[in-house]
Each structure stands twice: as structure tokens, then as C-alpha cells.
Structure 1
């Protein structure tokens, strides 16, 4: 796996070098990615700490991988502040943000030989069963409180900030006229699915959707009869719907990125925990019901 990390740093070194060539050859690229920053001064720092360090990381120098990743994070943060203050270099922020994500993943591969996704479910997010409650209403109250907090943050706070930055950085794109009504319809439907799933989780499962208070019983009722993760589906559709309402492609991308993180980082850990706790029952359920596409009784099922 370390080889993949080194391969990424090699690609990053080549891309960074080509970008700097384009910066000095094309005023348009220079304005879009650097704004009014001095390209000579910026290159004096960025070429050794980003391009050369990435090349050294590709050659197997682990310290260089740390230097390149640290510099990428620092540049991304500084460029985001600059772009927000001046309304310039929005594409630069976007490019460096992508580089930061790639560099962080590659650094993990180089240093650890893997991406430690298990770190996501540590501390307050570690998988633990909820305390069994004699009255389901107690779990229901906790679930509703979670909905208010999580929906308020991930749907009410983050998307407007992203939409504002998209406008400020000059990255906005036109949306079709039906985007807003479609977003409203999807948001209502997805929210209804999320609330239904949460209610079933609390009443049938004797727990909450929160990892630190997971259900005591395997839930295969309500929407869980047709799809294994209706709350995740609801959350992703909600995020995309808010993006349509705000007419922000960056918010839609945020929802898509969330789905990828959940599917490839969180879901395997969650399903491993469910398999350990519920054994053959969960294994049979996983084989019978798909994760993302509804499985209806009598319908042919594909893997």
C-alpha cells in the first residue's frame, strides 16, 4: 500500500510542476489560481516545499512526505483566507483543497501502509450499545435531540457557509429553473425517510442512531426491510437537496463526498460491529437486503 502513496506523490510532483509552468505562461491561469499574489515569491516557497518535496516523497523519503503534506495544508488554509478576503484565487483554493485530501491519504499510506479509517469511530463516536430502557420514549427523545443537532450542523450550518464561499470565490455556476422546486421535494421526502428510520431505530431497536448508543436489537422493520441504511441514504439526499435549494454545486459535491466517506470508511466499520454483535442474523440480512438500492419482496436481486 505504501507504493500507492509514493505513486500519488509522484503524480502530485508532476502536476505541481506543470501548474507552475502554466502559471508563468498563462495570465488567465495565474489570476484564477493565485489572484494578485506574487508568482515569483510564491514559487520560491512552493516549488521546494511542494513540488520537490513531493518528488522526494515519491522516491521514498518519508520526511519529505510529511513536509509536502504539511505545506499543502498550510497553503490551502492561507489561500482560503486570502480568497475569502479578496474574492480572488478561488480555483486555487479548490485545487489545493483536493491536493490536501490526496496528500493526507498518501501520507498515511507511506507512513502506516494503510488509511486508518478506524480513527473515525474513536472517543465519543466509538461503537457502543445503548443502555436498555424500559420506556422507548427515552431513546426516542435522545434520537430526536441527535436529529436536531446533526441536521442543524450538517444541513443548516455547513451548506450555507459552503454556498457563501462558492459565491465569494467566484466558483458559482448556473442551475436549471427546476433546481429549487426539485430540491424542496427531495428534501421533504428524504427528511421523512430519515425521521421514519430514526423512529424505528429507537422503538424497535432499543437504541439510537448514534454510534455511542447503538440499538440492542437488529432492526429489520420499517424502511430497513428494503434498504440496509435508510438514514444514510436520507442524509445524502438531504445534502444534495439543500445544494439544489441553495443552487450551489459545492454543496452538492459536499453531499457526494459525504456519501463516499460513509460508504468506504464508516460503513465497513459499522457492519463489522453489527456482524460481531448479531452474528448470523446480520449476515443473512446483509445478503438479503442491499445497502443503497431498495430490495423489494419478489424482485430479482443483483449483488
Structure 2
């Protein structure tokens, strides 16, 4: 919980400094608030964002003590207000093409506030909910025919690629342009970046297909945690890196961002990699260790998660 209070403290200081900049540096006001009246916004934002964040950062009466009720209430207020401002600015920026950088800043603050608030209220970040219910880890039915397993794998890849590598990036790129937060590159540089993105996408896609095929044919499972392999797979690309499908998916997302000339899409891929690595992967590996025991422990000890080994 200490780091959560530290986050709110940093947010309070950053918010105060931002308001100083808004009233003293015109360009900051223009790119973050557009034509909005800064005085009218400040009347609500300073107490509900800056002051509330500062109160949420206050420690308990004793070192290591749980946060007080006032601290928790302040954290809820700061987080709720941050989310409301982020949503409101997103609508405003989409309609007017103004304040795009304000949207991105407040969206990032919303994510950080939500994580810190959860830690303050629960004493931990409950990442297990990501793999609960219909998303819980479970092996694919062992009696499912191989053809059905392959078909299910292909269907999952089509849905994943369609949502996360086509629809999502295109929406983000459109908003990036609409909010005028895109990076302007010289035409020759932009072309080179796009070609690099296309090349990386081809190689990353080949790795993803190879990984999925290996999982389906040798492990009798699919890429989704809800239909995992029933046996430990250490062949194919899994000889070199423990999570080749994750490596491929993240590289594909970043490659799409490069091909589109969108730093926002690249950031989207990086954010996805962080969520997977810190929220999902620990639970996945705990499940693999529980099911495959020493076999998985030996595999984990010899093959790294992200950096491929050379045989």
C-alpha cells in the first residue's frame, strides 16, 4: 500500500504543476484543454483531483497501518473524478479535435489511479480475476479430434488478429489523428518505418502460426487459456523461448503500429505486454507448474520467458 500512496502523492504534485503550467504556458493550455475555460475546469479539478490525490497519499496513524477511511474516500473521489475527466475530454477532443494530449494524460492517470485505488482498498492487486470464470485456465478436452483442435485454433487466431491487430489499431489510429496527437515524420522516414513494420509483422506472424500449430499438434491445445494443452510442449519454437505466442502477438501489435505510423498503437502493444507479463503470466506458470510439476520446473529453469536462447 505504500507504493499506492506514493502514486497518489506523485499524481497530486504532477496535477499541481500541470495547473501552474496551464495558467503560465499557453501551449500547455492549448494542447491539454483546448478552448475550455481553464478557470471553470480548475474550480472542480483542483479539489477533486489535486487535493483528493494528496489526501489519498496520507499514511495511516502508525507505520504500515491500513489507510484511514478518509484516505480511502479521497482515493475513490480522485479516481472517479480522473475517469470522468478522461471520458469527458475524450468526447470533447473527438468532437472538436482539441485537447488530445489532455485525453492521453488523463487516460494514463485513470489507469494508474485505478491500480493504486485497488491496492489501497484491498491491500493487493487482484489479478486473479482476469483468469476467473469463463477465462479460467483449463485444458482442452483430451477426446476432441485433432481436426477440431486445429479448427478451433485457427478460429481463435482469426478472432484475435481481427480484434487486436486490425480493429483495435485502426480505431486507435483514427483517434490519434482526430485528437491531433500523431507524430509527424518526414515522408522518407515514414516510408522506412512502415516497411520495417511490414517486415516485422510477417516474421512475427510466422512465429505465431508456428507456435499455434505446435501447440495444437503436439500439445492438443489452443492459444487460449480456456483450452490449454493437455501435455507440456517444449518442441518447435518452445525450445527457444517459453512464450513464443506472446512474443509473436506483442511484436505483431508493435509492427502494426509501425506500419500505420502510429506511436499510440505501439504504446498499446507495449501496454498489453506489461499486463500479460505481470498480471497473467504468473498465474499461467503457476497452473503449468501445478499440472506438470518437475517437468515444467526444469523447462522454466533452462528456457527464458522473453529472450530466446540459441541451441
TM-score tier after normalising by the smaller chain length: over 0.9
Task: Work out whether 1:129 is the aligned partner of 2:143.
Answer: no
Partners of 1:294 and 1:54 lie apart in 2 by 42
Task: Work out whether 1:213 is the aligned partner of 2:227.
Answer: yes
Superposition CA RMSD, Å: 1.0
After the TM superposition, which residues 195-234 of structure 1 pair with which residues of structure 2 at under 5 Å, given as runs?
195-234=209-248
Q: Normalising to structure 1: TM-score of the pair?
A: 0.95
Partners of 1:294 and 1:157 lie apart in 2 by 30
Partners of 2:120 and 2:218 lie apart in 1 by 44
Equivalent residue, structure 1, for 2:34:
35
Task: Work out whether 1:75 is the aligned partner of 2:76.
Answer: no
Per the TM alignment, residue 174 of structure 1 is displaced from its structure 2 partner at its CA by: 3.0
After the TM superposition, which residues 251-290 of structure 1 pair with which residues of structure 2 at under 5 Å, given as runs?
251-290=265-304
Equivalent residue, structure 2, for 1:295:
309
Off by >3 Å, runs of 4+ in structure 1? none
Query: Please, which of 167, 171, 175 is the counterpart of residue 165 of structure 1?
Result: 175
Partners of 1:273 and 1:224 lie apart in 2 by 17
Per the TM alignment, residue 265 of structure 1 is displaced from its structure 2 partner at its CA by: 1.2
Structure 2: 5+ residue stretches without partners: 59-66
Partners of 2:2 and 2:200 lie apart in 1 by 42
Equivalent residue, structure 2, for 1:45:
44
Could you say what secondary structure the match of 2:293 adopts? Answer: helix
After the TM superposition, which residues 19-168 of structure 1 pair with which residues of structure 2 at under 5 Å, given as runs?
19-59=18-58, 60=67, 61-133=71-143, 135-168=145-178
Per the TM alignment, residue 261 of structure 1 is displaced from its structure 2 partner at its CA by: 1.1
Deviations 1:66-100 (A, max 9, x none): 11101111110110110011000011011101111
Deviations 1:182-223 (A, max 9, x none): 111111111111011111101111111111111100001111
Aligned pairs, how many? 296
CA contact 1:228–1:286 (8 Å) conserved in 2: yes
Partners of 2:270 and 2:144 lie apart in 1 by 39
Per the TM alignment, residue 133 of structure 1 is displaced from its structure 2 partner at its CA by: 2.9
Partners of 1:194 and 1:76 lie apart in 2 by 35
Q: Normalising to structure 2: TM-score of the pair?
A: 0.93
